[in-house]
Structure 1
Amino acid sequence: MGAVTVVAHRGDPYRVRENTLASLRSAVARGADAVEIDVRLTRDGVPVLLHDDSLKRLWRVERPLDAVGWDEVRALTGERGVPSLEAALGELGGHRVMLDLPGATERSVRAVVDTVHECGAADRVYYCSSAAAMLLVRAADPGAEIALTWTTLAPPRPELLAAVAPRWLNYRFGLVDRELTERVHRDGMLVSAWTADTRRTMRRLIAAGVDSITTNRVDALSAVLKGSRT
Structure 2
Amino acid sequence: MSVQAVAHRGDPYHARENTLASFRSAVAAGADAVELDVRRSADGVPVVVHDATLERLWGHRRAVAELTAEEIRELTGGGVPVLDDALAVTSSVRTLIDLPERSAGTALAALAAVRRAGAGGRVYYSGDPVALRAVRTADPDAEISLTWHRTARPRGTLLDELRPRWLNYPFGLVTARTVAEDHGRGLLVAAWTVDSPRVMRRLVALGADSVTTNRIGALRAVLARRDRGVNPG
TM-score (norm 2): 0.96
Q: State the distance in 1 between where 2:141 and 2:39 align.
A: 21
Kept in 2, the 8 Å contact 1:74–1:82? The answer is yes
Match in the other structure for 1:104: 102
Instruction: Work out whether 1:28 is the aligned partner of 2:30.
Output: no
SS across alignment from 1:63 = strand
Match in the other structure for 2:231: none
Q: Which amino acid aligns with 1:108?
A: T
Once the two structures are overlaid, the 10-residue window that deviates more, 137-146 or 167-176, is 137-146
Match in the other structure for 1:138: 136
Deviation at 1:106, TM superposition (A): 1.5
Deviations 1:9-36 (A, max 9, x none): 0000111100000000001111100000
Match in the other structure for 1:117: 115
Q: State the distance in 2 between where 1:130 and 1:104 align.
A: 6
Structure 1, unaligned stretches of length 5 or more?
Answer: none
Match in the other structure for 2:153: 155
Kept in 2, the 8 Å contact 1:130–1:150? The answer is no
Identical aligned pairs, as a percentage? 52
Where has structure 1 moved over 3 Å in runs of 4 or more?
none
Q: State the distance in 2 between where 1:143 and 1:104 align.
A: 21
Match in the other structure for 1:220: 218
Q: Which amino acid aligns with 2:126?
A: C
Deviation at 1:132, TM superposition (A): 2.8
Deviations 1:95-137 (A, max 9, x none): 1000000113121111111111111011100001133332121
Kept in 2, the 8 Å contact 1:41–1:108? The answer is yes
Match in the other structure for 1:174: 172
Structure 2, unaligned stretches of length 5 or more?
Answer: 229-233
Deviation at 1:38, TM superposition (A): 0.2
Match in the other structure for 1:4: 3
Q: State the distance in 2 between where 1:150 and 1:93 align.
A: 27
Q: Which amino acid aligns with 1:218?
A: I
Kept in 2, the 8 Å contact 1:56–1:62? The answer is yes
* Superposed counterparts of 1:25-104, under 5 Å: 25-79=24-78, 81-104=79-102
TM-score (norm 1): 0.97
